[in-house]
Amino acid sequence: MVNEYSRSWHETFAAGPDPAQTEREVAFLARLLPLPEFHRVLDVACGFGRHARLLAERGYRVTGVERDPWVARRAEIDVRALDMRQLHLLTESFDAAICMWQSFGYFDDETNIDVLRQMAGRLRFHGRLVLDVYHRGFFEHNSGVRTLEIAGQVIRERSELRERRLRVWLGNDDVFDWRLYTPDELATEGARAGLTPLLACTTWDESRPPSAEEARMHLVFERVNEQEQPAGLVDAGLV
């Protein structure tokens, strides 16, 4: 399944998150991707560019990738209208890549790993990849129905975890489906893609390891060269 995001979803969810939330997320990225070492950033599934714009204000040079041309035209950054399965079409290399807001895991296992390999392939040696994804353990105990109030709208959400995939029905328009991972699974898959894990944390706090009590987790990987062996997962703190 390839998730299709309606215009109403983009206008409700993607265009209007709390600015303080975005500032916190970008501050985390800036700490893990310090300038000038990680100046060139690839934002995979950049949406309207809320992270990219703030990173650019901090001095980063950001290139976005966005599948939906309608969204790409409104991002106000340098955006390539590409599916994330087409990153091999990019000719540039980058110091870092980011994939935020559960934008990884749309496809079957092998395609997801191919996407991970393609993100790694766009990095220079010792470049870094940041993934912001759901923790499967959380949804093993927290699926069901809830009501969201966003921008004055009341929206009903229903979620169901089927084995390792989460399906979400949102309002009347959108159905989404992702393969969810645990931190150790992503560390293993990252190694298959030539990446070594540097950090795994939650709530945008490097001192807090991932937990099934929290819906999101943030993982940082480094592209390693052929002579280096992937290291084990570090739960808190950079190595």
pLDDT digits (tens, 9 = 90+) for 77-107: 999 999 999 999 999 999 999 999 999 999 9
pLDDT band of residue 149 (cuts 50, 70, 90) is: confident
Domain regions of the chain by residue span: 7-138+175-223
CATH topology of domain 7-138+175-223: Rossmann fold (3.40.50)
Mean pLDDT score, 199-204: 98
Mean pLDDT score, 197-203: 98
Q: Is 203 exposed, middle or buried (0-12, 13-18, 19+ CB in 10 A)?
A: middle
Query: Which spans in the chain are helix H?
Result: 7-9, 19-32, 50-57, 69-72, 109-121, 136-139, 183-192
What confidence score (pLDDT) does residue 12 get? 61
Asked whether residue 38 carries a pLDDT value surpassing 70, the answer given is: yes
> 72 and 81 in contact (C-beta within 8 Å)?
yes
What confidence score (pLDDT) does residue 3 get? 64
**Mean pLDDT, the chain, integer:** 88
* pLDDT tens per residue, range 58-73: 999 999 999 988 888 8
Mean pLDDT score, 33-52: 96
Q: What is the pTM of this model?
A: 0.89
Asked whether residue 2 carries a pLDDT value surpassing 60, the answer given is: no
Asked whether residue 232 carries a pLDDT value surpassing 70, the answer given is: no
